[in-house]
Amino acid sequence: MIKIGLDLAVRTVGLAILYEDGTLFSDSFTSKEKDYLKLQIEMTDWVWEKIVKVIFTVENVGDGINKQTLNEHILIIEDLYVGLDPASSLDAAKVHGGVIDRYYNLTKQYPEVIGAMPARTRIGINPRASKAEIQLAVIDKYNLGVIPNEIRGEIIRLRNIYELLKERVKESRKNASTILKNRLSKEQAEGKRIMDNGFKRMATQIKNLTGIDEHKADAIVLVMGAHLNETQNIKNPQNLVN
Question: Any idea where the domains of the chain sit in the sequence?
Answer: 2-125+213-239, 146-211
pLDDT of the residue at 241: 41
**For the chain, counts of helices (H) and of strands (E):** 7, 8
Which pLDDT tens digit goes with each residue over 26-73? 999 999 998 888 998 999 999 999 999 899 988 876 777 778 899 999
Q: Which pLDDT belongs to residue 240? A: 46
pLDDT computed for residue 129 by the predictor: 92
Pairing of strands 23-30, 2-8: unpaired
Going by C-alpha positions, the residue among 65, 68, 91, 67 that lies closest to residue 80 is: 91
Residues of the chain with pLDDT under 70: 61, 84, 173, 180, 227-242
Q: Give the predicted TM-score (pTM) of the model.
A: 0.85
CATH superfamily ID and name for 2-125+213-239 = Ribonuclease H-like superfamily/Ribonuclease H (3.30.420.10)
pLDDT at residue number 1: 85
Position 16 scores a pLDDT of: 96
